[in-house]
Amino acid sequence: MNINAKIHGNVQKHTLLVINKANTLYLHRMADQKETQKRATHPYNRILPNIDDWPIAKLSNERTWLVDHVVEETLQAILKKDPSEKALQNELAKAVYLEKIRVERPWKTDPSDDKEFWSSVKNKLIKLESHADNKIEEEKVILKSILKRYVSEIIGNFSKRTYNFSERFVPFAFNRLLNASHSRAFRRLFNNKKDLLNSIHLVGEIEQLRNLAKDGIIVMVPTHTSNIDSITVGWGISAIGLPAFFYGAGMNLFSVRFLAFFMNRLGAYRVDRRKKNAIYLEALKVYSTEVIMRGGHSLFFPGGTRSRSNMIESQLKLGLLGTALEAQRRLIIDSKGVDYKKIYVVPVNLNYGFVLEAPELIDDYLKNVGKERYFVPSDKSSSSYKIIKFMYRFFSADADFTISFGRCMDIFGNPVDDNGKSLDNNGNEIDVRDYFKSKGVLKYDTQRDAVYTKMLSEGILKAFRKNNVALPENVVAYAAFKTFQKKHHNSDLYSVLRMAEEFRELTMEELRTAVKKLVKELSKMEHKGEIRLDPIVLAEDVDEMIKYATKKLGVYHNKRPLLITKSGTIKCQDMKLLLFYHNRLEGYGLEDHV
């Protein structure tokens, strides 16, 4: 992809040098970017130059076969759980019941014959129940027709032409928009001054990932805070030269034609969160397992949904993670442990200095603290126009955005070396086949796999904390929020949030002291590998760093989380937003250091 992604390793020292002399950090980061632009337009070559060799392209050539295969495998999986006629009838009846409710409120993306299809399934089921014959064949036919429908809907279509086109067109289109926004004048639409991904920083273990993606299978698991995550991480993947990934995208995104066009052809498959019946969920899992087993690099958002609080995920959904484990087990057992492909899990942190939907997210969070709320998914909020506007605002806001790639681990959460060997805590090699053995023999054990999946999720959660990049925005927001809290130490979170405007002000001195203490602790933690720091956080001139951060923090919100008043004090216009950006550094035990 023709972008100028900033590569952390090379640039870090440079940035630091500049910072110390800088009048404003902001200007120098811009200058720094120009430097990078000159240096490299292709920071990373594709690891597989020919798209035809990509797993995703190969699998897409076999689409028809794959649909039938997934249907068959899912059927077997469902029957394996309980092979009785009664059980299958029950599953079908449950699915029909739920689907009949769903089709009452159709979405644009739903096929037009949805209602008729489910009515006819219902009628067939009723007939069958009236003459129970203990033969399961007829139920199997019905199940197959449902599965065929589901699987055809789930499986995406990868198109080489669209991929090539989008790789050139998308950055082009957004660059135009960006320059327009930058100059605030559309007549300069074709004046290429500012590059789309200049504000994206790629940091972390990129070389290891590129290396292991050549022979192994990658399962990428990013943190999730914003609707544009799947797009930005998609760009990130392309920028570091990896082939396109399979990823499950919410059905509501497909209702935006502009996005659907690309997503359909870039390897996205459809996940419909309205369909909660066991048959659909099984089909999704089987598809994901098959894709991974066939070498398809995959991407899941393991948190399942956007983090409403902006805290790093503290709990993961195990369903799709389990498919990665299942794939590894089958690869090993099918090959009898000889010459099997290894699966590597890569935790990725997406860190934004500005999240456009922050106000809604934090409201959701505060309403729901302590209780689970049922979200009714809807496709209402997304029109092509809205999404484009959304992305336009995001990129034109010139906010800091970092993709931080963690070290690869094996499917059990053990770290792997650069050759893909799993290592234990003492650095000795582990033979992963042993995990699937009982008394020396490879053996299938679902309960064991479930515990392994839990272990993997614990490993990912730990890695999320370590790879988290503290942006100057987060650091200043954290210091400010905690200082407010300390000043009102007798009140709970909600009273702090409701604080009257005249109390929502800090002197520069107060904030500076807090930031200094916080940064001191953060650099200790960085030294120990417990967190990553954006180089600007370490700027010598703390006041400049605070200015930089307040300027960028939530820059496009109507009410600013922090701003510097004319008299030089720091004011918070919206405590909830401040809480939101501060939350990214929660859970490290930093509160004692502000």
Interface contacts to another protein, rule CB under 8 A = 412, 424-426, 428, 430-432, 434-435, 437-440, 445, 447-448, 451-452, 454-455
CB-facing half-sphere around the CA of 414: CA atoms within 13 A: 21
Contact predicate 562/479, CB 8 Å = no
Q: Provide the 3-class DSSP secondary structure of residue 13.
A: helix
Residues in the chain: 594
Could you say which DSSP state residue 407 is in? P
Residue closer to another protein, measured from CB, 434 or 509: 434
Closest contact distance (angstroms) between CB of 428 and another protein is 7
Minimum CB separation of residue 14 from another protein in Å reads 36
Nearest partner of 532 among 8, 19, 4, judged by Cα = 8
Number of Cα atoms under 13 Å in the Cβ half of residue 527: 7
Q: Least distance from C-beta 461 to another protein, angstroms?
A: 14
* Residue showing tokens 């197959």: 144
Instruction: Report, in Å, the least distance between residue 462 CB and another protein.
Output: 12
d(CA 225, CA 352): 9
What are the structure tokens assigned to 231, written together? Answer: 């797009």
> Measured between alpha carbons, how far is 347 from 409 in angstroms, rounded to an integer?
9
Min separation Cβ 435 and another protein, Å: 5
Contact call for residues 16 and 535 (beta carbons, < 8 A): yes
554, 581 contact by CB (below 8 A): yes
Query: What is the rounded CA–CA span in Å between residue 345 and residue 460?
Result: 8
Number of C-beta neighbours around residue 427 at 10 A = 8
- Whole-angstrom distance, CA of residue 40 vs CA of residue 322: 39
8 A C-beta contact, residue 216 and residue 242: no
Taking a C-beta distance cutoff of 8 angstroms, is the pair 221, 460 a contact? yes
CB count in 10 Å sphere of residue 336: 10
Question: Which is nearest to 217 in space by CA: 345, 39, 93?
Answer: 345
Shortest distance, CB of residue 363 to another protein, whole angstroms?
31
The residue among 100 and 437 lying less far from another protein, judged by its C-beta, is: 437
Strands (E) across 135-216 are located at 200-204
Name residue 124's amino acid: K
Smallest gap, in angstroms, from Cβ of residue 326 to another protein? 17
In the bound complex, what is the minimum distance in angstroms from residue 513's beta carbon to another protein?
A: 25
Phi first, then psi, for residue 479 (nearest 5°) are: -60, -45
- Say how far residue 190 (Cα) sits from the centre of its chain: 32
